[in-house]
C-alpha cells in the first residue's frame, strides 16, 4: 500500500458515517489516506503527536471532522504547517451549528478551511484535498475535469 497523502481525523467513532464521505472521494480519485479517531479533548497528546508527525510521513493535507465543541481541526492546525480542512459534524443537540462556529471562527494566524456541516462538507473536504494535491499531479487534474463533466452530464440528462 502506498504512503498516505491525506490524513482523515475524527473526534469520535460516532463521526465515521459522515467522514466516510471524504474517504470515498479519496478512494474514487486513487489518493491514499490514513483515517483515525483522534480527539482534541479525550486524547490530546495523541492528537498533538499525529499533527507534528504528519508532514514527516509525507502527508500533505489534513481533513478533520468533529461535533459539539469542535476543537480537533483547530488543535491540529496549531501543531502543523499542513493545510487543515475542517468539517463541522451534526452530532449534538445544536445540529452542528456549535461545531460550525467552533471550526470556522479560528483566530487570525491559525487557519482552518471550513466546509459545510455534515456529509456535504465531508464530500467537499475530500474534493478540496484532491484539488490541493492536483496542483502537482496532472493525473488528478484530469480526474477532476472528468468529475465535473460527469456532474454536468447528470444535470443535462434530467427530463422533467
Ligand atoms: C465530538 O463529540 C465528536 O467529534 C462527536 O461528534 C461528538 C460526540 O462524540 P461521542 O460522545 O459520540 O463519542 O468530540
Question: What distance in Å separates the CA atoms of residue 126 and residue 79, rounded to the nearest whole number?
Answer: 21
Would you say residue 34 lies in a domain?
yes
The pLDDT profile of the chain, 160 residues, written as one tens digit per residue, is 699 999 999 999 999 999 999 999 999 999 999 999 999 999 999 999 999 999 999 999 999 999 999 999 999 999 999 999 999 999 999 999 999 999 999 999 999 999 999 999 999 999 999 999 999 999 999 999 999 999 999 999 999 9
Would you say residue 43 lies in a domain?
yes
Would you say residue 114 lies in a domain?
yes
What's the domain range around 37? Answer: 6-156
Would you say residue 1 lies in a domain?
no
Domain containing 15 — which CATH number?
Answer: 3.40.50.1970
Question: What distance in Å separates the CA atoms of residue 106 and residue 88, rounded to the nearest whole number?
Answer: 13
CA of 14 to the centre of ligand 1 (A): 6
In total, how many domains does the chain have?
A: 1
CB pairs under 8 A, 24+ apart, for 101-105? 102/69, 102/70, 102/71, 102/74, 103/66, 103/70, 103/73, 103/74
Any ligand 1 atom below 6 A from CB of 118: no
Any ligand 1 atom below 6 A from CB of 18: no
CA of 112 to the centre of ligand 1 (A): 19
pTM assigned to the model: 0.97
CA of 91 to the centre of ligand 1 (A): 7
Question: What distance in Å separates the CA atoms of residue 85 and residue 122, rounded to the nearest whole number?
Answer: 9
Any ligand 1 atom below 6 A from CB of 14: yes
Any ligand 1 atom below 6 A from CB of 98: no
Give the atom of ligand 1 at the shortest distance from the alpha carbon of 66. Answer: 4
Any ligand 1 atom below 6 A from CB of 68: yes
Amino acid at each position: 500500500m502506498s504512503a498516505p497523502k491525506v490524513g482523515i481525523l475524527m473526534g469520535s467513532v460516532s463521526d465515521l458515517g459522515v467522514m466516510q464521505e471524504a474517504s470515498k472521494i479519496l478512494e474514487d480519485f486513487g489518493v491514499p489516506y490514513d483515517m483515525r479517531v483522534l480527539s482534541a479533548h479525550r486524547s490530546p497528546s495523541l492528537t498533538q503527536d499525529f499533527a507534528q508527525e504528519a508532514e514527516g510521513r509525507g502527508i500533505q493535507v489534513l481533513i478533520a471532522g468533529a461535533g459539539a465543541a469542535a476543537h480537533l481541526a483547530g488543535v491540529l492546525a496549531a501543531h502543523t504547517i499542513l493545510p487543515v480542512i475542517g468539517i463541522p459534524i451534526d452530532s449534538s443537540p445544536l445540529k452542528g451549528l456549535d461545531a460550525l462556529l467552533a471550526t470556522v471562527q479560528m483566530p487570525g494566524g491559525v487557519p482552518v478551511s471550513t466546509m459545510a456541516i455534515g456529509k456535504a462538507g465531508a464530500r467537499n473536504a475530500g474534493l478540496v484535498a484532491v484539488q490541493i494535491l492536483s496542483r502537482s499531479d496532472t493525473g488528478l487534474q484530469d480526474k477532476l475535469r472528468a468529475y465535473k463533466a460527469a456532474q454536468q452530464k447528470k444535470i443535462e440528462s434530467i427530463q422533467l
